[in-house]
Amino acid sequence: MESVQAVKQRFGIIGNDPGLNRAVEKAIQVAPTDISVLVTGESGVGKESIPKIIHSLSHRKHGKYIAVNCGAIPEGTIDSELFGHEKGAFTGATATRSGYFEVADGGTIFLDEVGELPLPTQVRLLRVLENGEFLKVGSSKAQKTDVRIVAATNVNMADAIEKGKFREDLYYRLSTVEISLPPLRDRHEDIHLLFRKFAADFAQKYKMPTIRLDQAAHDLLVQYRWGGNIRQLRNIAEQISVLEQDRNITRDTLKSYLPDVGSNLPAVIRPKKQQSDFSNEREILYKVLFDMQRDITDLKKLTMELMNTGNVAQVKEEHPSLIDKIYSQETDHESRLASIVEEETPETHNVEVLSYPDASQDVAEDKYHFAEEIEEEESLSLHDKELELIKKSLEKYGGKRKDAAKELGISERTLYRKIKQYNL
């Protein structure tokens, strides 16, 4: 059995991180068997190296090795790609085609991004793992295949199973042995080694001197989060190698190539409850605005009928619901809107949103004035009744607006507006 260091050198794997060494060691141990292996890790950590190690150290090393990116094949054609199809099985199937499982008989298939497989294809794959049989698309004859399957994914399989996107029985079949590769940000000692290797490779490729980092740039390189892992590091090294004239790279130069450098700092995250509350309040704001628009439309309709007929009594008889709406001093939505604006901080709503309660008040006042023209006597009685209730409530609670507003069933902001309106 080859040593971990020898295998890493053979396959160009750079680094001495304990997590990386353990992953390579497990690959060496399972290679002589036919056990299915699931390689997990974030995108860009180099998962494709593990299946190559397993195939090369197995008794199947002289057979075919086929790598399939499951996420890159359209859902409608993936069954045909993997298992083949018969002539006439679907539109465009002008000839019988062999799939990867037939072609790779006796070898190894690497299913990259296996978490992206559609559910019907997962059922077919499960049958291959259980008894080595598969059906071509459009065929009823089962075929045998002797294929070793190594799969990889960057998906959280537990979440995918819980959401019904991946079959639990297939997961356990694939992950007889699970090999996890650590993200680059956890391999601090390996980051600069990888960068130097990439810099040397690109210097040779583009026939130019190798770029070098000063100490400050080196520190930034190691501290950066590397969301794209090794793939991102390689791309950054190539960009700098091609674009920079000065081959001595400073911290500022490196920083200009790293997106979201500030994202490594601690961030204040609002609790989910606040975000949910804001979403609900935004819906209420929209509802109030739509209600205001509908009220204005109703007012226009009523005005036109009054102008055309000139008969107030007739209009009142034909449109009692509109008249009742006009006399309504304040809707539930308007009350809720006022309380939202009063309770929220300036960071939650911008100035434009804060201006909406005043706009709704203007519309409400227009409705009150229009109602007075239709029936002055009733409006005055409502005015007196409201004034009387507000006075009694304030007297009851000794002038405490908060308690009085709660008693009246309105917001404190609305009560304050009424107090100013009636000069209390």
For residue 9, the model assigns a pLDDT of 94
Angle between helices 356-374 and 320-327 (to 10 degrees): 120
CA of residue 302 relative to chain centroid, distance:
48
Clarify whether residues 171 and 106 are in a common domain. yes
CATH number at residue 223: 1.10.8.60
What is the spatial distance between Cα 306 and Cα 370, in angstroms, rounded to a whole number? Answer: 11
CATH number at residue 126: 3.40.50.300
**Sign of dihedral through CA atoms 50, 64, 148, 151?**
positive
What is the spatial distance between Cα 238 and Cα 192, in angstroms, rounded to a whole number? Answer: 14
pLDDT, averaged in runs of 10, over the chain (424 residues): 91 95 97 96 95 96 96 91 92 91 96 95 95 93 95 95 95 95 95 96 95 96 95 96 95 92 47 48 66 74 71 65 55 50 44 41 48 46 73 81 80 79 76
Clarify whether residues 177 and 192 are in a common domain. no
End-of-domain residue from the set 247, 264, 281: 264
What is the spatial distance between Cα 315 and Cα 323, in angstroms, rounded to a whole number? Answer: 9
The residue whose two tokens read 């009560």 is 415
For residue 56, the model assigns a pLDDT of 96
Clarify whether residues 146 and 251 are in a common domain. no
Which pair of structure tokens corresponds to residue 79? 């069954």
Of the chain, the end-to-end C-alpha distance in Å amounts to: 94
Q: What is the DSSP letter of 329?
A: S
Clarify whether residues 163 and 191 are in a common domain. no
Clarify whether residues 82 and 115 are in a common domain. yes
Torsion on CA atoms 64, 65, 71, 75, rounded to nearest 10: 10
For residue 213, the model assigns a pLDDT of 96
Clarify whether residues 8 and 87 are in a common domain. yes
End-of-domain residue from the set 135, 164, 182: 182
Clarify whether residues 134 and 201 are in a common domain. no
End-of-domain residue from the set 227, 242, 264: 264
For residue 266, the model assigns a pLDDT of 44
What is the spatial distance between Cα 149 and Cα 307, in angstroms, rounded to a whole number? Answer: 82
What's the domain count of the chain?
3
Contact in structure between 312 and 374 (CB atoms under 8 Å): yes
Clarify whether residues 175 and 48 are in a common domain. yes
For residue 211, the model assigns a pLDDT of 96
What is the spatial distance between Cα 168 and Cα 174, in angstroms, rounded to a whole number? Answer: 10
Contact in structure between 415 and 401 (CB atoms under 8 Å): yes
CA of residue 140 relative to chain centroid, distance:
41
Clarify whether residues 194 and 147 are in a common domain. no
Clarify whether residues 161 and 253 are in a common domain. no
Look up the domain containing 51 and give its range: 4-182
CA of residue 110 relative to chain centroid, distance:
28
For residue 341, the model assigns a pLDDT of 47
Clarify whether residues 174 and 30 are in a common domain. yes
Clarify whether residues 173 and 293 are in a common domain. no
Q: DSSP 3-state assignment of 168?
A: helix
Question: Which positions ≥6 away from 175 have C-beta within 8 Å?
Answer: 36, 37, 38, 157
Contact in structure between 115 and 160 (CB atoms under 8 Å): yes
Contact in structure between 407 and 396 (CB atoms under 8 Å): yes
For residue 32, the model assigns a pLDDT of 96
